[in-house]
Each structure stands twice: as C-alpha cells, then as structure tokens.
Structure 1
Amino acid sequence: MNCRRLLITIDGNEYAAELQDNPCAVALKNELPVTLTFQDFGGQEVLAEAPKKLPMSGMPASAGASPGDIGYYSPTGSIVFYYASVSPFPGIARLGHFTEDVSFLASTRENLEVTISLAE
C-alpha cells in the first residue's frame, strides 16, 4: 500500500497530515523519518532545510498555499508549513496538508524541532 499519511511531531504533540501524489512529495516521503529545526519566515510560514534537494521535474513552476499546507520552496531547498495564505510564487511546490488546525504555528519564531514520519 502506498502510505500517504504523515505523523508530524511538534514540541511533543502529534499532528496528522497527508501527502499529495506528486514527484516532489514522493521524494520527501522516501527521506522519512526526519527531524528538522523550523524557523518563522515572513509572518506566514515556518521553514526548515530539507534533508536533500527535492525534484521539481513534473511540478508546476509556481503555486500558492493556504493555512495548513505543507510545501517545498525549491530555490532554498526548504520544507515549509504555512499558517497564512500565500499567493502563487515561483518555486513553491505543494506537498500536502495538515488535517488539523495549525494556527499555533503563527506564534513560532525560531528553533522549533519537528519530526516528520509516515503514519502507521
């Protein structure tokens, strides 16, 4: 079975998410589990350096994001959790979405340790 469900652990709390079925998301899935340190960026998202560059082949050149979306920003190689809406921008790829409210991320500023793993 092709598992697309994620378990994302943030400060000891577990959150459910689902990956999309696209080349960039599959590449991230193949790197899991991974623990990353996220930082706030621009008052709209938290981001961390991906374990390795993810492929953009077959992905749209740009995308927007909504609160709860999980993305990849290819120019910097960053995994991104969005807590605000973002207009389409070149280099953004949508990887998935949290299935729970993540508005608490808006109060995050730096050094947020996050473990991303496949849900069982």
Structure 2
Amino acid sequence: MKIELTIDDTRVEAELNDHPVARELAQALPLDLVFNDFNQVEKVASLGRSLTLRGVPDADAPGPGEIGYYAPTQGLVLFYGSPGRWPGLVRMGRFSYDLSALRALPDGTRIHIALAPTDTP
C-alpha cells in the first residue's frame, strides 16, 4: 500500500507492508504527527492510540529507511539507524528519504502522512 510523507515541503514516497497493523494505520490516514529524535537512531511520534498486534511477530529489528510501530509507547517510528531487536516493535514499511536529512530534522518536526494519490487515466 503506497503512502506519502510530507516533510517540510518535500513529498516522500513510502509503502506499507500488507499486515493487520499497517492496514489499521492506513485506515487512520491522513495524520499530522510531531516527530522527535530518540536515541540517535530514529524519529518517533505518538499516535495517541494503540494499533492491533495480531498477525505480526512479538519482536522485530527494523533497519534504516523503515517505518515501524512501537506498541509500548503507541509510537510511529521512522528509522535512520538500526535499533536492534525489541519486543513490541513492528516493521510497518519503507520510505525513500535521505537518511542524513531525516537525522538532521529538529525535534518538533511535523510530518503529514497520507495515502498516496492514485493516477487516474
């Protein structure tokens, strides 16, 4: 499922995996979320609600350029580094944004997340 992140004025292509957690997130779009740096590995924003964990592993180890969901804090995560394997961490998809630019975003950066527009003939 294709989605789009808008970071400042830059549109970023992304894709969600096909599993229940990602589908539930997609149903909640569009979202405007405020991201902050965490542990010099990722940018995290609170969704303010939990997502289902049915149909996904109990733990995962996302890598740079991936989108994740961290169940204990109800956080949506954009990874620019590798956090290691954590319980409650779910790989949600991938994005195509410069990882150095993501790392450099200041705390409090607002990112708009929406389903990608579809091309119609």
Class of the TM-score when normalised by the shorter of the 2 chains: over 0.9
Letter in 2 for 1:18: E
Match of 1:86 among 59, 83, 88: 83
Q: Is the contact made by 1:67 and 1:103 (CA closer than 8 Å) also made in structure 2? A: no
Residue 55, structure 1, aligned to residue 29, structure 2: no
Distance, in Å, in 1 between the alignment partners of 2:38 and 2:105 is 10
Residue 25, structure 1, aligned to residue 19, structure 2: no
Letter in 2 for 1:94: R
Q: Is the contact made by 1:48 and 1:80 (CA closer than 8 Å) also made in structure 2? A: yes
Q: Which has the higher helix share?
A: 2
Show the 5 A alignment for 1:1-120.
4-120=1-117
Question: Structure 1, unaligned stretches of length 5 or more?
Answer: none
Q: Which has the higher strand share?
A: 1
Q: Is the contact made by 1:31 and 1:51 (CA closer than 8 Å) also made in structure 2? A: no
Report the count of equivalent residues. 117
Fraction of identical pairs, as percent:
37
SS state at 2:56 partner: coil
The worse-fitting range, judged by mean Cα deviation, of 92-101 and 10-19 is 92-101
Give the drift of 1:68.
0.7
Q: CA RMSD in A?
A: 1.1
Question: Structure 2, unaligned stretches of length 5 or more?
Answer: none
TM-score, normalization: structure 1?
Answer: 0.93
Q: Is the contact made by 1:64 and 1:87 (CA closer than 8 Å) also made in structure 2? A: yes
